[in-house]
A and B are shown apart, each in its own frame.
Chain A
Amino acid sequence: MKWKKVLSLCLAAVTVVSAALLTGCGGGGASSDTSFTMWIYLGENAQYYTDYADNPVLQWMTAQKWGEEEKQVEFEFWIPAAGTALDSYSTMIGSGSYPDVLDCTVANPIALYEEGTIIDLTEYIEQYMPNYTAFLDAHPELKPYATYEVDGEQKNLTVIGLKDDYESIYCGYCYRRDWIVKYGTNPETGEKFTGGYTDESDPDSWEDDVVFPSGGTDPVYISDWEWMFEIFEKAYTDLGIDDAYCISVYYTGFTWPGDLCSSFGGGNFNFYEDSEGKVQLGCDKDHARAYLKCLNTWYEKGWLDESFNERTSDMHYAIDDTAVRQGKVGMWMGLKSTLGGRLDGGDEYTDGIFVSGCALPINDVYGDESCQNVEPDCVMTKSELKGQGYAVTSAAKDKDIATLLTFIDYLYSDEGAVLATFGLSPEQMEEIGTSFYEDNGIPNGTYEVNEEGKNEMVETIRQDSGGLKNAAVLSRFPCLKKVSILDEGYADSYQHSLDLWIQYKGGADVWATPAVSNLPEKDSKVVDDVMTKCQDYVTINAVTFIKGEKDIDSDEDWGTWCKMLEKYNYKKALDVLQPYVDKYGLHANEK
């Protein structure tokens, strides 16, 4: 009996001591734990690495010591397989097994905060992120993207990626400038154009004397585009291309965020903010009708791809890519890689090809005055100064968030932003002993400082289209990108095309702006519901106007379209959105 008592006491003592030790370990280690798990929406090209912790910039960062206590920070990345990000996100949130840091590409931060999944970073950011705060203070127009309104208070629920200038984008409208030279004539003098390559081996060494009807050397108006289409028709006749067309559009006949539709007086088919700061649904407005009228005219004239609505699996920037690369299309929405003479395959349709980029047009032909001579203000393919948001979840609440944010804040300092934008310097490579840059043909890094003091991308990066640049710098992590000192190193004609692609900055599209992201869940459902129904109706029926199955000039047909949209009670969604647009929209400061 005595032994039993002793044994029981020993066991009890062991249990108490173990519990105390375990509690102690948890408590003492909690706030000092600087190992974080992080979910990111997309990884880099697997050719370079599959674990984002192998990113050379992150390797250098994690080798340094951070914060007052000089601690190292570690990351374990969770990256969903391509195309499964939404499923991966739903599973994580639904099961409660989410990481410490969350890429908010598919998340609603307000909903996550209200559910207790992510934490309020406001105080942490104030205390530990001076560089981030300073940049936002200097750019107040970006602040609404960095904060969320919760119970009347502005809270930092995420840390967002930022850029200090507009960066070139990956796609835009392209046209066969060589055909303009070969088949066109000066609209004023009637003389034939001249032009060609100055160096046959350089795909960007093109010079010509092309003048458009609007008087400039680049197309500006819809009338310029139609002038080009007439020239393309001559090319098709001359070359004997009988399955050619001048331009195609996305299979629905439009893109929701805007682009070409926005050329007809501003606005898009979606919710947008008009010039007076009122939120509107675009698809039943005059600009939408003018846009559909234009496409219907192009379709009737044979300029528009007659099978555009069948190309459902094509991306908006690569519609009927085969025909484009075969040299059968005059104008298209294309990637950087189609510019210049890069499509020259030496065959009969692409021999001597020169492709130029152009800006979105301004309508000067269709609709009434309100639809004409207005710059596009809803641009899907725009360049933006703000990037993705990243939240810290409740899974990290016992970890050292202060050190994590100090680590991240460095990437918003001048020095850190250069590191994130351009990758490691040779000294930094040596410091951590990485061979990444050498292995990929850029032993001295991604750039060289040029005469203008800008960081010019090296030739290997310029020629690469496989994601080397993104893999060599920090692209999937919160940071500031120093675009203002970036020189891509492109030839003048190439750079000119890229500049035209981002000529119109947009910003009137209400979707994916603070006006929508600050909507409470209940209001958000009203807007989503209306939008889903309108989207379905418009997607089905826009094509019928373009193809002439319904008459766009008929008030009866247009009236039916408008009535159907009204039936979905979109005005309720407008009422819900208006206060948020007043607060966060383009004209918020004027109110």
Chain B
Amino acid sequence: MKIELEQRGRYLLIQAKGRLDASWADHFTQTLLLQIRKGRHHLVIDASEMIFLSSAGIRALLMVYKELNIVHGSFFITNPTSFVEQTLSTSGFQMWLGKGFPEDMPAAGIAGEKDAAENTGIQGFILKDDAQLTAAEPAAWHPWQAVDKKRVQALVFEKDTCALGIGSAAASFEDARDHFGEFLAVAGNVVYQPPDEQALPDYLIPEKQFLPRMQCIQAMSCNGEMGHLIRFAPTDTTPFYRISALLTNILNQTGGKSAGFVVLGEIEGLVGTALIRSPGRLSKEREIVFPEIRDWLTFCGERSYSHQQALLTGVVSKTGATFLSPMPSAPHIAAHIHAAVFPYQPLPNGKIELESAIAKFFNGPPPLAVMHLTDDDRPAVGLGESALIRGACWFSPLQNPEVLS
């Protein structure tokens, strides 16, 4: 099978020539899914030279169709050969069939818009103009203080809370002592990294009366509604968005006020660290230096998890605070960000709702990692800061930024 792609305005015209059968179905699916991932969400398949379509081929078309449904795209097959038309009609997929091309589709050879991918650049939405978050820092452990029972707070995460810190999903301090690791909580869902190099991230999902609960030695939480949403997608000049660029955008939109935020986005590369030994094992405060630090923290060593999906939450401010570190690549910003990595799933276009978008990931394939993001500014060998390719960022200003100081 020969697949030729031609961008015409907002439509991607796919000339599929030959047999769409079991031998070619996977190649066809992967080619089109990649285009969808790149933001091309209106597909027109010209089947005038598709001479055969098997059930494997129909399955390939169905997978593409479902993916486009998720992102609210469009899909139809035009000029089918009689065999393809009959196969699709008798199989119950006649709704995909059409004649000719969409009216707003430019003629052959005219690309139309400069970059015809959907939703390029940054789009802003105001969800609730006066929404504000209430910040709290109920637990404030700092490296490398000893941990005793008095430092631990049992926190329950409501659906209007986003939070990050170091905690353990345990019933008591005694159970939690050896298991404190990085966590983040968004819309009532919690994902945390047990402090063991071999442990997989674990997660808690709110169900019926159950609300996730963590024993926390460090926590910053933001309660309330997200008032703003930014959608970002690559352009010719901006193939990805550095975290500092997203945070600068947040601060610009909040008029420089400190803010709490949640980001879901396809990863260009994450840079971060995570505990591999529980601070609960510290019997007294002390400075932990190299090389011992390697027994307590792991560092990614390279820009990680490219093309997976990241769920980020954090707090950003123009002024530093004990909980916030200035970002070396953008010294006017101080932030504390935790990231959870999930296998890639597409996000719908446009204005999307935080709770349902997050739920889709927590109910999908399990998370791959949780980390505390860092901005690696080491001369020559530094990995830089984390960056995302496309996604959604919800945020609101803090009504009580003094909590950060």
Q: Do A and B bind each other?
A: no
B residues lining the A interface (CB < 8 Å): none
A residues lining the B interface (CB < 8 Å): none
